[in-house]
A and B are shown apart, each in its own frame.
Chain A
Amino acid sequence: GAVVSQHPSRVICKSGTSVKIECRSLDFQATTMFWYRQFPKKSLMLMATSNEGSKATYEQGVEKDKFLINHASLTLSTLTVTSAHPEDSSFYICSAPRRGLEQYFGPGTRLTVT
């Protein structure tokens, strides 16, 4: 069964609004989680590393004020897309490492900004 969940699975929002995506590890604790975005028929691009109890680490070129990450507990990380625009429409996927090596991925959230 799934060990990492994401909510919502799909969201449509209007341009200028903010959207929050949740990533939960279901039966294990994750001090670190990762957020990726994926454009259609493209690969996954790492956006940021979410660290429990401290600031997220963003990859080069990712706006930290645009994509707010909060890792408030050992099982939950949230990604908030602020003031969303159509170019933010994408598939967002989180992952969490378990037992140090293997990463478990959430089912993804498809964001459409109109």
Chain B
Amino acid sequence: SQQGEEDPQALSIQEGENATMNCSYKTSINNLQWYRQNSGRGLVHLILIRSNEREKHSGRLRVTLDTSKKSSSLLITASRAADTASYFCATDVQGAQKLVFGQGTRLTINP
């Protein structure tokens, strides 16, 4: 069953603005990952944050994790039209390698 909830479901912003997406989950995790998916394509791994980490950066991406609130956020700074895609958080099931995905956020960057 899905354990991740993401908000917003859809986000439309102007190029150059920052985009923030949030993810909440229900059970204990070892790590949380963010993925991007362009329409009709496979998933691209963006970043992984472990349960003992609070913040992680990768280029224009910044991910935070609050295990006490069971939530994470993905911030994309200085957005570009090419960032238009769906973004999913995924959590591992403790003791297993399988991932459970959130509902996703459809991000549209308007030029």
30 residue pairs from A and B, CB less than 8 Å apart: A6-B42, A32-B97, A34-B97, A34-B98, A36-B101, A41-B106, A43-B88, A43-B101, A43-B104, A44-B43, A44-B88, A44-B101, A46-B100, A46-B101, A49-B98, A97-B97, A100-B97, A101-B31, A101-B48, A102-B48, A103-B45, A103-B97, A103-B99, A104-B45, A105-B35, A105-B44, A105-B45, A106-B42, A107-B41, A108-B41
B interface, over-half SS:
strand
- B interface residues (Cβ-Cβ under 8 A, vs A): 1-2, 31, 33, 35, 40-45, 48, 88, 90, 96-104, 106
Q: Mark A83-114, 1 if CB is under 8 A from B, else 0.
A: 00000000101010100111111111010000
| Tier of interface size on chain A | 20 to 34
A103, chain B: closest CB distance, angstroms: 6
